[in-house]
Homo-oligomer: A and B are copies of this chain.
Amino acid sequence: MNEVTIHFLRDDNIKAPILIEGLPGVGQVGKLTAEYIMEKLGAEKIAEIHSLHFPPQVIVDENGVTHLVNNEIYRYENGDTTLLFLVGDFQSTSPAGHYVLTEAYLDIAEELGVERIYTLGGYGVGHLVDENRIFAAVNMEHLRPEVEEAGGSFQTAEMGGMIVGASGLLLGLGAERNIEGICLMGETSGYIVDPRSAESLLAVLTRLLGIEIDPALLRQRAEDMEQIIAKIREAEESKAAEELTYIG
């Protein structure tokens, strides 16, 4: 059995210079952002990636049909702009598997003509955040000015950090293949799924891509979420107050 299997759903020769990775991670910030763009642009699935490095399980969809756990490649194409997306619900179950999977992603990227990869993630700070900064890292120094211009901050990088999993390795192993890599991480508490941070990330990424995506629905999700959180807090506080009364 191969460690990684790639199924292409269509056979064409469209070259795509840009790949955007949004696999699961802190606050699901990268995943939310990538999937939001895909949805707004109407990207279509072009490949499925199976691997024994994913968890040994199938997902049952709303029709009761099973699907192997996988990662997927989507493509959006419209005249000048061709974008690829790498998304999915899982990363590797083992440390070494992350390397094997990332090399497979890069094989696909090379085959499809990718020259630059954006990897999207969250940067957990452990407390609620009012304004979500977007921290950035690059795999070649010449990429830094354009990222800063688009609103990416290199403050974290100056502290000397780590980027774990596919978001990091796509930059590290991508550099070995001369593929440019830019990692954008939305500041987030790390406690909840964070569409507010995804909205900030979307702004920086779309500036870099030179495209426009209406963030209204993402903002709506953030507001919905904040209302739910506010209600939970209220309920907790009134309960705490009641208990105080009771004790008193």
Contacts and interface: CB of A to CB of B under 8 A. Distances in A.
A122 to B, nearest CB: 15
A52 B96 contact: yes
A67 B161 CA distance: 11
A58 interface: yes
Interface string A140-158: 1100100000000010111
Contact of A103 (B1, B61, B63, B100): B1
A154 B95 CA distance: 36
What is the total number of copies of this protein in its complex? 4
B140 A61 contact: no
Interface string A1-36: 100000000000000000000000000000000000
A75 to B, nearest CB: 22
Contacts of A62: 157-158, 160
Nearest to A89: B162
Interface in A158-214: 158, 160-165, 168-169, 171-173, 175-176, 181, 183
B168 A64 contact: no
A65 interface: yes
A95 B98 contact: no
The range of chain A's interface size is 35 or more
A42 interface: no
B172 A64 contact: no
Among A55, A92, A168, max chain B CB count under 10 A is at A168
Given A1-B100, A1-B103, A172-B68, A60 B95 contact: no
A168 B58 contact: yes
A138 B169 contact: no
A67 B172 contact: yes
A68 B168 CA distance: 8
A93 interface: yes
A137 interface: yes
A165 B92 CA distance: 16
B64 A163 contact: no
B64 A138 contact: yes
Nearest to A163: B58
B93 A93 contact: no
